[in-house]
Amino acid sequence: MCFSPQADLIGGVVVAAIGVDVVRHVPQWHDHRMLASLPLLFAAHQLDETFVWWGLQGHVSHDVERVAVWAYLLFAFVVLPIFIPVAVLLIESVGRRRWIIAPFVALGVIVSSVLLSDMLRGPISATLGHYHIAYGTDPSAGGLIVGLYVIATCGSLLFSGYRDVAIFGVLNLVVVATLAHLTMDGFASLWCGWAAVASGAMALHVRLAHPRRLPHQALA
First to last CA, the chain: 36
64-73, 92-101, 150-159: which is most confident: 64-73
Confidence of residue 71 (pLDDT cuts 50, 70, 90): very high
- Identify the weakest region by mean pLDDT among 13-22, 35-44, 68-77, 148-157: 13-22
Q: Which residues contact 177 (CB under 8 A, 6 or more apart)?
A: none
Mean pLDDT of the chain: 77
Contact between residue 144 and residue 198 where contact means Cβ atoms under 8 Å apart: no
Cis peptide, bond prior to residue 39, ω within 30 of zero? no
* DSSP-assigned letters across all residues of 3-17: SSHHHHHHHHHHHHH
Across 6-10, average pLDDT: 77
Confidence of residue 27 (pLDDT cuts 50, 70, 90): low
CA angle 199, 203, 206 (to 5 degrees): 145
**Percent of the chain whose pLDDT exceeds 90:** 15
Phi first, then psi: what are they for 128, rounded to 5°? -75, 130
Q: Which residue has the higher pLDDT, 30 or 102?
A: 102
pLDDT of residue 106: 96
Answer yes or no: is pLDDT of 84 > 60.
Answer: yes
Answer yes or no: is pLDDT of 217 > 50.
Answer: no
- Using a 10 angstrom Cβ sphere, with 0-12 exposed, 13-18 middle and 19 or more buried, the burial of residue 172 is buried
Answer yes or no: is pLDDT of 53 > 90.
Answer: no
- C-alpha distances in Å from residue 97, one per residue of 31, 66, 78, 89, 154: 15, 41, 25, 8, 16
Q: Which residue has the higher pLDDT, 30 or 46?
A: 46
Confidence of residue 76 (pLDDT cuts 50, 70, 90): confident
CA angle 22, 24, 30 (to 5 degrees): 85
Confidence of residue 5 (pLDDT cuts 50, 70, 90): confident
d(CA 175, CA 168): 11
pLDDT of residue 30: 60
- Identify the weakest region by mean pLDDT among 27-31, 48-52, 161-165: 27-31
- Tens digits of residue pLDDT in 122-172: 788 888 777 677 777 765 556 788 788 888 888 888 888 888 788 878 887
